[in-house]
Structure 1
C-alpha cells in the first residue's frame, strides 16, 4: 500500500482508539502546532482573492467525544441479530452521555477562547456539547488558528468559499479538539450526480410498465422488488426521510402531477417539510430541483401512505464578501446532524436516504471522521441511513482525472464520501432486465476508514479472487462499498411540469430506502423495533434476501474497474432487494 494511505489510516485509528483526555500540566504550552494541512488546493478550486478582514465567519469547533468507542460498541450490538441487545436502540440521552466532552476538555477549550476575548456565555453549543460555534471576524479567526484565510472559486460551479490550506492550534489542545471548520474542508460543493433527459411525449404508466429497460416507473419497481400489493400497516408510526442540500427544492406542483399520472390515489398526498440552517423549499416552479423532485416523488410513491419528511439544509455557497453576516460554511452534513441530535425518539424517521456525495480526498480526514461519528449516533438510535455510492465508477464523482490530492498526483482510484463511512449503508446501481451492474455505479475502498469487521470475510474473499489486479490503485484494507444496489436508469419523473428521464445512484438510493421503509413498517406493525443500522444484519445473513447481481463492472481511471460477481462485490454490493424475502428473513409474512 502506498505510504500516504498509512498516515491517513493511522490518523483514523488514533481518533477511534482515543480514551478520555489525559490531564494536562498546569503550565500549558502556548506553542501552535499544525492541526490540519493540505498538500495542495483540492482540484476544481482556484485562489480567487482575500476576504475583508472584518468579514465574519462562524467557526465550529468539534470537541473530542468522551466515549465514542462505547457508542460504537453499542451501535454494533443493537444492530447485530445474534446479540442479546439487538433492537434495543439507544435514547437521545444515552447517546448524549456517551459523546459529551470530558470536563477537562471544556475547561481548556473555553479558557483558550476566553484568552481571545470571546464571551463563553455567547457560545452556540450542540445538544451534547461536543460542538461549539462562535461568530468572529476573519482577522480574529486567523489569530486563533495561526492561519491565512483566502477566497476560493470552484471552476465548474462558480461557487466561492473562504478557506485555509492549513491551520494550527495550541499544543495542549490537540487532544481535546478534533476539528475546526471552516478551515481545510473544501469539498466538491456537495452536489447530486443525477443526470436527466427530457421526454418529448409524456407517457402513461400503463404503456411502460412491461420493462424497466425502457422506462422505469413506480409499478415497474414494485414488481421488480416484490412490494406490489403491500399496504403499509403503521403509516402514522413510521416515517421515511429524504435529505436535500445545495439549494435543491422539492416542488409540490410537480409532485401532484407525478401522482396524478402514476399513483392517482395519492394525488393529494404530500410530505412534511423541515428547514435547517437557513434551508428553503421555494415553490417557484423554475427553482424546482431535479434531485429533490425525484427523491420525493419516488420516496412517496413507493411507500404511500407512509409519512415522508423532506429536510432542506442550507449551507452551500456562494460566499458574499460584503455581507455583514457569517459567510456560508458549506458543511450541510454537520448542520443536519446537529438538528437531528435535538429530536426525541418519536420525531426521527426510521429510514433516511441521501443522494449527495463528494470525492473522499476532497474532505479532510478530521472532518470526515466527525461527520461519520454523527451518522453512527443516528444508527445507534435505530435509524437506517442510506447513501448513494456515486456515479463515477472507480473514479471521481465529478468526472475529473484520477489523481491523488497529496501533492504527488499519483494515479489512484477515487472513493466517495460519505459512502466510505462504515456506519452507513451504501447503494450502488443496476440497469437492464435481468439486472446487471450499471457502468457508473460508484464502488471501491476507503483511504480513510479501515475495513469494519462485519464485512471482512466477504471482502477478503473478493480480493483473493481479484489477486494483484489494480495493485497500488486502491487501499485493499479500507472500508469497502457499496453494500447493496438498486435500479438506477430510465426513471421517469416530473420536473418543472414536464416529464424527464433520470439516471444515477441518486435514483437507486431512495428506491432501496423505500423497500427498507416498508420493512420497518411491517416490523413496527408487529410491535418489533425497526431495523436501524443495516450492515451487521446484511453481512451476517440478511444478504440472502437480496438478488445477487453477477454481471457488469464500473470502469474508470482508464481501467475496466471492478467486476460484479457471485456474492459481494464493489460494484453492486450484495445486490438488489426482494421485499418478500426480507419479510421472511425478519420472521414476518405479508
Structure 2
C-alpha cells in the first residue's frame, strides 16, 4: 500500500474533523489493564495499521448454516458452504460501506488508500497516530508493561461520528492491551532429555483392549499417542490437509523435523510441509533460530497425521515499539492477520491447530466477537479449528501460581477466574491437557478451563455443562465465574513430557500447546478416513462431539486445574472444565464419523 499520508494531509484532516467534534459519540472505553503504566506520547508520525470492522447483518443466518452443516443429525450435515457463499452472508449493508467510505474521505482517505477483506467487512489502512487521533477523537499514549518491559501504543477510549457509529463494530488497535503468547510450559532439560524410549516387553492395560508402553509415563512420543488413543491399526491414505499456525517469530526447523521423523516416524523421513508466509512472516532455517513452540507443533501434528499434506503458516508478530524510535508500524494481535489471510484462501487446510492465546479480558469484547465470527466463517466452510485451552488453570494463562493476577480489568479489580481467548469462542474446539497412563488431568502445570465472560453457552453443550454445574456444591466459587458462559475446554490430550528436537537437541516440553496439535493430528486422520469413503471433512467439530461422538472419548475423572489461589475445578465423570469430554478413542471416533451417508 502506498504511503499516502503527509503532514499536510494530517493538518487537513484536523481541520475537517474539528467542526465535527461535537458530533462524536463514545464507541468504546476500557479501564487500563493491571500491569500497564503510561510512559509518554508517541511521535506524531508513528504509523498505526488501523482495522475497521463493519457489521455483519446476516451473521445469525451464517450461524444457522454453520450449525446445520455441523450437526450429524441434520440432513445438511457435511454440506459445507463455499468461500463465496460465506462472504455473501457476512457482507455489510451498502449503507454501512457508503457511510464508512464517506467518513474516511473526509480525512482525505480514498478508495485506493485502504485494503478491504473479500467480504468487505474489514477495512485496513495505515495512518500516522496524529491522524488516527483526529479520526477517533482520542489521544494515543505509549504504555509500558511493567513485568515484561513491552511497550504498546494504545488509547483507553475512542469515539466515532454519530452518523458512522452504527456502521462500525470495532476499530483496532485502540483499546487492546493483550499480550498474545504461546500456551506452553517451561521447557524441561534442554539438551539433556532422556534417551529415546525403547519398546518394552511389558505394557500397561488401560482397558478396552488398549495396551500402552510403560515408557509413556515418562516420555511422550508419537507411538505413545497412537497406542493411548487407539490409532495403531488405522490404514492411512493421506487424504485431506492439516495446518499449523506459527507466530511471534517461532521458526519450524526442517532439519529438526527430519531428525524427529527418523526417531519417531521413520516412514515420514524425506517428507516436508508447505511453508506459507503471512504478513511477512519468515521461517528461518538456522538451527540456532529453531523455535521450541513451532517445532513441537509441527513435529507432533505432522508426525501423527503423516502422510496427510501439511502446511505451516508463519505470521509476522507485533513489531516492538521502542520509545523515541520511529518504529514503522504498530499492529493488532497477529492472529487477525492470519485470519484475514486464510479467509481469503479458496482451500484452507481442513484441520488447523493454534497454540497461542490471550486472557479473554485483555481482548476488547467487540474485537473478540468479531474475530470469533471469522472462526465461524471457516467452520461453515468445513475447517476444524483447534485452540489450546491455556496453561493457567482457572487463572491468567500463567503456569506460575505465584505470578497469576486473577483480577478483573474493568476498573473494579475484583477477584475473578480468567478465561482465555480464542479458546472461549464457541466456534472453535478448545483442547485441554492430561498426563500419565492411565490419564489424569495434568498437574505439573494446569489445564486452562472455565467459563467465558463474553460468549453465552452454546446449545450444543448446554446439557452436559448444566449437569456439571448442578453437581457442584452450592456456592462453590460463587461470583468467580460466569455459569452461563461458553464452557471450555471441549476435549483434551496428553500435554506433558513431549519429546521433540530443537536446534539439533532432544528436549522434553509440555503444555496445552502440545495437546492441541496432537489432537489436531488425529482430527486430520479422521478426515482421511471420511475422504476414503467419499465423505466430506468434518468441519466444525463441537456439535458432533457433544452428541453422536460423546461416547468416543476417554472420560478423565481425576485431577483439577488450580489457579487464582484455589484448586480450581475438578475433573469428574462426564464433561468438566478441566478436561472437557475427555481424550480421543480414535478407533471409536472413526466408526462414528464413517457410519451412514453423512
1:206 aligns with 2:210: no
Counterpart for residue 134 of structure 1: 125
Counterpart for residue 306 of structure 1: 308
Identify the match of residue 445 of structure 1 among 439, 444, 451: 451
Q: What does 1:407-556 correspond to in 2, within 5 Å?
A: 407-439=411-443, 440-466=446-472, 467-556=474-563
Counterpart for residue 69 of structure 2: 78
Task: Using the TM superposition, give the Cα deviation of residue 158 of structure 1 relative to its aligned residue in structure 2, in angstroms.
Answer: 3.2
State whether residues 493 and 518 of structure 2, in contact with CA within 8 Å, keep that contact through their aligned partners in structure 1: yes
Counterpart for residue 148 of structure 2: 157
Q: Gapped runs of 5+ residues in structure 1? A: 1-27
> Helix, strand or coil for the counterpart of 1:196?
coil
Identify the match of residue 144 of structure 1 among 135, 146, 149: 135
Counterpart for residue 39 of structure 1: 31
1:64 aligns with 2:55: yes
Q: What does 1:374-393 correspond to in 2, within 5 Å?
A: 374-393=374-393
Please provide the CA RMSD for this pair.
Answer: 1.7
Task: Using the TM superposition, give the Cα deviation of residue 160 of structure 1 relative to its aligned residue in structure 2, in angstroms.
Answer: 2.3
1:90 aligns with 2:90: no
Task: Using the TM superposition, give the Cα deviation of residue 496 of structure 1 relative to its aligned residue in structure 2, in angstroms.
Answer: 1.4
State whether residues 183 and 511 of structure 2, in contact with CA within 8 Å, keep that contact through their aligned partners in structure 1: no
1:231 aligns with 2:235: yes
State whether residues 164 and 183 of structure 1, in contact with CA within 8 Å, keep that contact through their aligned partners in structure 2: yes
Between Structure 1 and Structure 2, how many residues are aligned?
557
Distance across 2 between alignment mates of 1:255 and 1:327: 34
Structure 1 stretch 28-37 or stretch 505-514: which is displaced more? 28-37
Distance across 2 between alignment mates of 1:201 and 1:310: 26
Deviations 1:381-426 (CA, angstroms, capped at 9, x unpaired): 0011011110000111135221111111101111000111000011
Distance across 1 between alignment mates of 2:294 and 2:259: 15
Identify the match of residue 256 of structure 2 among 225, 246, 254: 254
Identify the match of residue 277 of structure 2 among 269, 275, 278: 275
State whether residues 55 and 323 of structure 1, in contact with CA within 8 Å, keep that contact through their aligned partners in structure 2: no
Task: Using the TM superposition, give the Cα deviation of residue 543 of structure 1 relative to its aligned residue in structure 2, in angstroms.
Answer: 1.4
Q: What TM-score comes out, normalization by structure 1 length?
A: 0.92
Task: Using the TM superposition, give the Cα deviation of residue 331 of structure 1 relative to its aligned residue in structure 2, in angstroms.
Answer: 1.8
Counterpart for residue 560 of structure 1: 567
Counterpart for residue 7 of structure 1: none
Deviations 1:192-241 (CA, angstroms, capped at 9, x unpaired): 433211252551342585332111111111100111132322x2x41110
Distance across 1 between alignment mates of 2:377 and 2:325: 35
Note closer, same or farther for the CA distance 1:49–1:564 as it changes in structure 2 (3 Å cut): same
Deviations 1:99-126 (CA, angstroms, capped at 9, x unpaired): 1110000111111111111122321111
Deviations 1:311-334 (CA, angstroms, capped at 9, x unpaired): 111132312567767413132121
> Helix, strand or coil for the counterpart of 2:188?
strand
Deviations 1:532-579 (CA, angstroms, capped at 9, x unpaired): 100111111211111011111111111111011111000000000011
Identify the match of residue 410 of structure 2 among 395, 403, 406: 406
Q: What TM-score comes out, normalization by structure 2 length?
A: 0.90
State whether residues 183 and 397 of structure 2, in contact with CA within 8 Å, keep that contact through their aligned partners in structure 1: no
Task: Using the TM superposition, give the Cα deviation of residue 339 of structure 1 relative to its aligned residue in structure 2, in angstroms.
Answer: 0.6
State whether residues 193 and 397 of structure 1, in contact with CA within 8 Å, keep that contact through their aligned partners in structure 2: no
Note closer, same or farther for the CA distance 1:536–1:430 as it changes in structure 2 (3 Å cut): same
Distance across 1 between alignment mates of 2:340 and 2:513: 24
Counterpart for residue 186 of structure 2: 195
Distance across 2 between alignment mates of 1:325 and 1:402: 33
Distance across 2 between alignment mates of 1:201 and 1:552: 26
1:584 aligns with 2:586: no
Structure 1 stretch 212-221 or stretch 567-576: which is displaced more? 212-221
Counterpart for residue 14 of structure 1: none
> Helix, strand or coil for the counterpart of 2:72?
coil
Distance across 1 between alignment mates of 2:260 and 2:480: 43
> Helix, strand or coil for the counterpart of 2:31?
coil
Counterpart for residue 358 of structure 2: 358
> Helix, strand or coil for the counterpart of 1:180?
strand
Counterpart for residue 177 of structure 1: 168
Deviations 1:164-190 (CA, angstroms, capped at 9, x unpaired): 111111122221101111100111233
Counterpart for residue 24 of structure 1: none
Q: What does 1:80-119 correspond to in 2, within 5 Å?
A: 80-119=71-110
Deviations 1:118-143 (CA, angstroms, capped at 9, x unpaired): 12232111111110111111111000
State whether residues 212 and 490 of structure 1, in contact with CA within 8 Å, keep that contact through their aligned partners in structure 2: no
State whether residues 317 and 330 of structure 1, in contact with CA within 8 Å, keep that contact through their aligned partners in structure 2: no
> Helix, strand or coil for the counterpart of 1:555?
coil
Identify the match of residue 341 of structure 2 among 339, 342, 347: 339
Q: Gapped runs of 5+ residues in structure 2? A: 1-19, 201-212
Distance across 2 between alignment mates of 1:190 and 1:128: 29
